[in-house]
Chain A
Amino acid sequence: MAGTDNNSLDGFVGRDYAAGFVTDIEADTLPPGLDEDVVRFISARKDEPEWLTQWRLDAYHGWLEMVQPDWGQVQFPAIDYQSISYYSAPSGDQPKTLDDVDPELLATYEKLGIPLHEQAALAGVADTQQRPPVAVDAVFDSVSIGTTFKETLREAGVIFCSFAEAVHDHPDLVRKYLGSVVPRGDNFFAALNSAVFSDGSFVYVPENTRCPMELSTYFRINERNTGQFERTLIIAERGAYVSYLEGCTAPMRDENQLHAAVVELVALDDAEIKYSTVQNWYPGDEEGRGGIYNFVTKRGACRGDRSKISWTQVETGSAITWKYPSVVLRGDDSVGEFYSVALTNNHQQADTGTKMVHLGKNTRSTIISKGISAGLSSNAYRGLVRMNPGAEKARNYTQCDSLLIGEKCAAHTFPYIESRRPDGIVEHEATTSRVSDDQLFLCRQRGIDPEKAVAMIVNGFCKDVFRELPMEFAVEAGKLLEVSLEGAVG
């Protein structure tokens, strides 16, 4: 149309990445490179018991024999694992309490909108929205710098602390469950993590206990040329319930940085774990320079009967995402859920999905995946549903929807279904749609500007997943999508 601003869906410009700043802080950072000494250094630095040092070394030797997987629908130059630094921590002694934490660090989390002062978080209770307080574990590069609400949680019998603390204070639990869901040799990145993991969060909810508040861990990569290898372990005893959320950001840098985490969840009889992720690692610039390689292994084990594990993820960041939060349904009548929104823009690539492995009787799983591709990005769903011979009357429902914005992006779907039960029920529905010029014109004719219109259309597309998120994070996720789509029109 003559003279108008030509808001076609084709044009893409950059996006704002509000979390892209660097914190200027003294850090003790290992020189790049990986060998046995590095593994021993990390273990010694954390004052770990001998069995754990050995566990790491075994993982390291296993890793040396493995090759990086190449089956993902992603492309990137070879990673030089000797050019990465495997440990970085703010200088000085480990803070004992939050009051000892460097104000510069506290300011960082303040800037990111993460409340690290219990006072501030508690003040939230008084406001009109009656937001419940959230306990936070803040992980900065390789170490946890503090965990809030420990006392309140301890009264309820819930353990929520950094992984390093758990190794010292609850060695039996760690030893019993570490690697029991994701074995050391599970895959290339899990093996690497097992060798060099630095810190992360540990949660233990005792029998018949409902964790009194949302738990969350906030991961921040700050140092240049370092990798982040955190490890999270959550155990819900019989009849326990916990809802846990993780958030991630990193500064804007021209080079790629590796993030290879491992998350293990264990749910015993009648236990429920709800695990939500809002992943907003730096995605790289609009030319595809920089950004995080997010190669993560997440798995939950429904060990007990009638247990339930639910993964909800909103993935908007990272240059490359490679992750498949999975559930092994061993207990009879156990339930696995996976709700995912993955948005890629510019040059981002994502290959993400889930595995639902049905072993027990009457096990049920639900998979709802929403992939949104914009710009020149590529977005793949990869999911496995397996029903083993013992999984009598197992059921799965999968819905996998892709939304394309513009003409130059790609969406792929790779569903794998392996059923060895004649009475297993597997449903798979998939759609691919596009934000159409007609939808956009309808919105604009009603007065809604194009950026708002696209954000609204994408949010509508993701509604089934957002309603699984804890309330305030659902709002945050909606806003995050809006920011990530900035420049997606015009």
Chain B
Amino acid sequence: MNLLEISDLAASVANQPILRGIDLNIGAGEVHAIMGPNGSGKSTLANVIAGREDYQIDRGRIALEGQEITTLSPEERAHRGLFLAFQYPIEIPGVSNMEFLKAAVDSHAQANGNPEITAVDFMQMARNAAEQLGLNPEFLKRGVNEGFSGGEKKRNEILQMLMLKPKVSILDETDSGLDIDALRVVANGISTFANTTNAVVLVTHYQRLLDHIEPDFVHVIANGSIVRSGDRSLALELEEKGYSWLEKD
């Protein structure tokens, strides 16, 4: 069974169609890359899957582990194992990372009928995750994304992923704003997390992240549709030729 199934998904913003019929199947243990030029609909796809309410779904369906989630609230989707790492992580001043992570982790436990994690276990888990991403434990005490550098914000998204252990992680332009060293650390965190029971979707404009995390499948979106799917070689081809040759097809 596929972890995530998207069929004939069309969506618009303010009556402006953005997605024009997307089909995508993502199986357990797979890493997918979704590439495409600016404005092609990559980020919209990521946000629509996560349930952002600014978008109108015109047709199609989204299923997670065989269950339709098309009409669920964002938090219900999250509880079922869907995660979105944001392209532009927003600040929540005064709310510490720790407090935020605890509320997130607790909400998952509660929704899924699991016992609440103890404070001690939680702290340990958070410290380990921070360490894995090369973050000082003090980082956990700071306000969510408050005064973080671009790189810290992106690492923080991955930290949240490591804590929530989602089934499907959609990482929206997680590589943008990272220097080479930070990119390696983040890529390493993602690779370590990926296993045979979950799936990772990398939404990216450039292929440089793919040098670190090898995708099993590459899809190219242009003008709201997937115009080409292939293996890793497609990403290299794009790197060489740019996107314009696809749009002429």
Contact = CB atoms under 8 A, between A and B. Distances in A.
Given A8-B53, A447-B107, A447-B108, A2 B94 contact: no
A437 B92 CA distance: 12
Given A4-B72, A437-B54, A448 B94 contact: no
A445 B163 CA distance: 14
Given A2-B70, A460-B95, A449 B107 contact: yes
A1 B90 contact: no
B63 interface: no
A439 interface: yes
B111 interface: yes
A447 B94 contact: no
A460 B107 contact: no
A72 B78 CA distance: 46
B52 A441 contact: yes
Given A1-B53, A3-B70, A457 B103 contact: no
B70 A448 contact: no
Nearest to B74: A444
A215 to B, nearest CB: 29
A439 B90 CA distance: 6
Interface residues of B, number: 38
Interface stretch (A55-63, A113-121, A153-161, A461-469): A461-469
B56 interface: yes
Contacts of A4: 51, 53, 71-74
A6 interface: yes
Contact of A446 (B52, B73, B143, B164): B164
Interface in A436-462: 436-439, 441-450, 452, 456-457, 459-462
Interface string B42-69: 0000001011111111000000000000
Interface in A232-249: none
B103 A2 contact: no
Interface residues of A, number: 31
Nearest to B83: A445
Nearest to B78: A447
Interface string A2-17: 1111111000000000
B104 A448 contact: yes
Contacts, number: 100
A438 B70 CA distance: 20
Interface in B117-170: 143, 160, 164
A459 B94 contact: yes
B54 to A, nearest CB: 7
B75 interface: yes
Given A1-B52, A452-B103, A460-B143, A442 B73 contact: no
Interface of B: 48, 50-57, 70-75, 77-79, 83-84, 86, 89-95, 99-100, 103-104, 107-108, 111, 143, 160, 164
- For the complex of A and B, the 7 pairs showing the least CB-CB separation, nearest first, are A460-B94, A3-B71, A460-B95, A447-B107, A446-B104, A444-B74, A463-B94
Given A1-B55, A445-B74, A447-B111, 16 more contacts: A1-B56, A4-B51, A4-B73, A443-B104, A444-B51, A444-B73, A444-B74, A444-B78, A445-B84, A447-B75, A448-B104, A448-B107, A449-B75, A452-B103, A456-B92, A459-B94
